[in-house]
Amino acid sequence: MTTYVIAPDSFKGSLSAVQFCEIACTVIAQCDPDAQVISLPLSDGGEGFVESFLFAGLAEKETVWVADPIGRKTRADFAWQPQTATAIIEMAQASGLPKLKNEERNPLQAHTYGTGQLIDAAIKRGAKKIILGLGGSATNDGGMGALHALGLPFLDDKGKEVGLGGQALKTIASIGDLPPELLEIEWLIASDVTNPLLGKTGATSVFGPQKGVNERNFDALENGLENWALKIAEKTGRQVKDLPGAGAAGGMAAGFIGLLGAQVKPGFEVLNSALALEKTLSAQKVDWLITGEGRLDEQTRFGKLPMQMALLGEKYSIPTVAVCGSLGTHPSELPEFKAVFSILSRPMAELDAFRFAPMLLKQTLYSIIALLKR
């Protein structure tokens, strides 16, 4: 009997990690009905982070109504562990890029206020520890919107509260007193981003273009984040300007590290510990490990989730197969994988690739399992 472990990240915008696992289970049941399948939908802290905990039965689902990146009402979930009073929150649930149409993307106005409302709901639920997954944001506001929703006042030079969005950061003259209950919470950020807040590898330069950053608004956003770092340093003495990882989620990491003293761990490391991935891989004979995400390229080697799974596969002598939407490098550049497959069977528009992703994944996995089964 063949044992498969299915452990993908999401194909952002088209397939969740849970959907990937469900499709894989269906295909394996058809192609290799005697096989054992272990599903482990994963996330690096972005889209699907909460779902990973819920799917594994490690937490209960809580649903609340919050603001999306431009202030409309949207539903968002967080995972709640009553025994440890821990809330697992994914900022993309409230403030993620998929919440907006392409024409609605405007980092000057987009904000994280809804993520703050999500966090506030967890605090009212009794949270003593909050694990905040960062990734996939539509925002460039340094987390100011979320912190404002949690009761932190941000004032201009006339003593009035500033507005929301990346455009408001440059108008902050001072930060008011932090609600004391926020400092009693243990804050842990789950993120695999190592980019600093500012500069050529910072939040605005690297992640901004997909959110609507262009030559007309770049300076306002970059200068806003620079002022944000300055005001944080004046308030708490913490220097986040050049801190690796501070640029995650449009600089949201900088705000929570600088003002709330949040600690940071790679998202994969958080899930690896919570789901006991290594125990799963070492406790029994696993024949094949199948992982993947929306795009595999030269960046995959630098800590991306599929590579982390491939390295675990090597550790326990399990061959790893990767499946992706877009393959941006030659498979020989990713020798940790036994094989790499793109689900795209022909050139197609991005919209069509997103729409047909479930069917394309099913077809690709059918061929893979037919090849792998013993």
Consecutive 10-residue runs of the chain (374 residues): their mean pLDDT?
A: 95 91 97 95 93 96 98 98 98 95 96 98 98 96 98 96 97 96 96 94 95 97 98 97 96 98 95 92 93 90 89 96 94 94 88 89 96 83
Amino acid at 51: E
pLDDT of residue 275: 92
DSSP per-residue codes, 36-61: EEEE----SSSTTHHHHHHHTTSSEE
What are phi and psi for residue 288, nearest 5 degrees? -140, 140
Confidence at residue 13, expressed as pLDDT on a 0 to 100 scale = 77
What's the chain's Rg over C-alpha atoms?
A: 21
**What integer pLDDT is reported at residue 117 of this predicted model?**
98
Q: Given this model, what pLDDT does residue 283 score? A: 87
Q: Which of 2, 26, 104 is nearest to 359 (CA)?
A: 26
d(C-alpha 72, C-alpha 138), whole Å: 14
pLDDT at 303 (0 to 100): 79
Helix crossing, 305-315 with 267-275: angle to 10°? 50
pLDDT of residue 347: 84
Q: Residues 163, 218: contact at Cβ < 8 Å? A: no
Structure tokens at 225: 């984040």
Give the tokens for residue 300: 């995959």
Say how far apart CA 233 and CA 203 lie, in whole Å.
18
Nearest CA to 70 among 34, 39, 96, 33?
Answer: 96
Alpha carbon separation from 85 to 51, 54, 79, 91, 153 (Å, rounded): 18, 15, 11, 19, 27
Asked if 193 and 134 count as a contact pair (C-beta separation under 8 A), the reply is: yes
DSSP code, position 15: B
